[in-house]
């Protein structure tokens, strides 16, 4: 007999912890936070994103107690449905593409991670200078605060605040958006967001002389890396997905309407 294992990740608030108690009393699988098959993430999008990084191979059940819940497929009112789906392993799975990020340093170190929302490279103090390549073709020499590369599901997160486009969940794309790019007669970058095919590969090369800057950050979702001798950053898809469980599919347009256009009580 196959024993299914599950665990729970909760946002640190009363409402989420109450739900955790209910879940523990009603889910019949074995509790195991080392190698769970199912992870129940109770909270907001942040909680679900954290769960996906900690357990990238598990099926994630997102239950939203937060204000947005863009990733969560179950509301608190649907808690019994979620429990029934978990206990009977009776659910559908939405596969969300995640972006692979590979950082290469001058000393030859390579770091790999992935992003459900976005990868950013940011220098808050001094102007960042990056050569941007798409596949192996030179696009531009970018100067500014930073760049954001987002997935379709992440297009409504940081990307949206940067005036990037909201991307239909049926499209497989990556979107490159600037943060305060400098545009003058001396410096020029595209300025607008660019939406690229799933098959493209973005390469960002730090322009020589920039290594001296110490406060350069690379972020993948909520995780940040502070790299002193970064040489290049590669961003691409490699068929890796995060598996989100759902009971009833929610139309993309409804999700956008619910998240951004209906005022909350
Ligand atoms: P956070 O500060 O709690 O996240 C910022 C807000 O974005 C929260 O309201 C969060 O919802 C929401 N959110 C996250 N992913 C979303 C998505 N795919 N679509 C719509 N809204 C989404 O930080 P966090 O919880 O650790 O999340 C990390 C994320 O913060 C990053 O991936 C980045 O997208 C975002 N961020 C945004 C800005 C900005 O907009 N200026 C700056 C830095 C980081 P919940 O409340 O449900 O968690
Ligand atoms: Mn959050």
Quick one: pLDDT at residue 59?
98
CATH number, residue 48: 3.40.50.10330
Name the domain count of the chain.
2
- Residue 128: pLDDT band by 50, 70, 90 thresholds? very high
> Residue 51: which domain range?
5-91+247-261
Q: Are residues 33 and 68 in the same domain?
A: yes
Q: Are residues 255 and 160 in the same domain?
A: no
- Catalytic residue of the set 37, 45, 205, 221: 45
Angle at 37 between CA 245 and CA 54, to 5 degrees: 85
Count the residues in the chain: 265
Q: Are residues 48 and 176 in the same domain?
A: no
Q: Are residues 49 and 79 in the same domain?
A: yes
- Of residues 102 and 125, the one with the higher pLDDT is 102
Q: Are residues 121 and 81 in the same domain?
A: no
Quick one: pLDDT at residue 265?
56
CATH number, residue 152: 2.60.200.30
Quick one: pLDDT at residue 205?
96
Determine whether the shortest distance from the Cβ of 66 to ligand 1 is under 6 A: yes
Quick one: pLDDT at residue 68?
64
Total-model pTM: 0.96
Model confidence at 126: pLDDT above 70: yes
Quick one: pLDDT at residue 209?
61
Six-digit token string for 124: 């808050």
Q: Are residues 137 and 191 in the same domain?
A: yes
| Share of residues in the chain with pLDDT > 70 (%) | 96
Determine whether the shortest distance from the Cβ of 244 to ligand 1 is under 6 A: no
User: 19-74, pLDDT tens digit by residue?
Assistant: 999 999 999 999 999 999 999 999 999 999 999 999 999 999 999 997 667 899 99
- Residue 180's CB is within 10 A of a number of other CB atoms, namely 11
- Residue 10: pLDDT band by 50, 70, 90 thresholds? very high
Which residue is listed with tokens 């001296």?
212
CA 183 to chain centre: 29
Q: Are residues 37 and 136 in the same domain?
A: no
Largest CA distance in the chain: 70
> Distance, CA 46 to ligand 1 centroid (Å)?
6
Q: Which atom of ligand 1 is nearest to the CA of 160?
A: 40
Overall average pLDDT of the 92-107 stretch = 96
- Residue 211: pLDDT band by 50, 70, 90 thresholds? low
Q: Are residues 170 and 225 in the same domain?
A: yes
Q: Are residues 107 and 66 in the same domain?
A: no
């Amino acid at each position: 007999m196959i024993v299914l294992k599950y665990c729970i990740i909760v946002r640190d608030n009363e409402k989420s912890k109450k739900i955790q108690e209910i879940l523990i009393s009603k889910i019949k699988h074995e509790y195991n936070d080392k190698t769970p098959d199912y992870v129940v993430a109770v909270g907001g999008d942040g909680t679900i994103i954290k769960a996906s990084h900690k357990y990238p191979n598990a099926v994630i059940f997102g239950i939203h107690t937060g204000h947005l819940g863009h990733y969560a497929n179950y509301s608190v009112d649907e808690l019994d449905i979620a429990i029934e789906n978990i206990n009977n392993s009776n659910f559908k799975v939405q596969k969300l593409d995640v972006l692979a990020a590979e950082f290469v340093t001058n000393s030859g170190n390579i770091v790999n991670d992935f992003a459900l929302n976005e990868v950013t490279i940011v220098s808050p103090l001094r102007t960042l200078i990056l050569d941007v390549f798409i596949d192996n073709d030179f696009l531009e020499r970018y100067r500014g605060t930073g760049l954001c590369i987002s997935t379709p599901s992440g297009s409504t997160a940081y990307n949206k605040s940067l005036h990037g486009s909201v991307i239909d969940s049926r499209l497989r794309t990556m979107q490159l958006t600037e943060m305060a790019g400098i545009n003058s007669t001396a410096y020029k970058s595209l300025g607008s967001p660019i939406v690229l095919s799933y098959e493209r590969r973005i390469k960002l090369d730090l322009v020589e002389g920039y290594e001296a800057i110490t406060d350069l950050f690379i972020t993948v979702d909520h995780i940040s890396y502070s790299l002193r001798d970064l040489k290049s950053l590669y961003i691409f898809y490699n068929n890796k997905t995060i598996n989100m469980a759902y009971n009833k599919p929610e139309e993309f347009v409804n999700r956008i309407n619910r998240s951004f256009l209906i005022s909350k009580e």
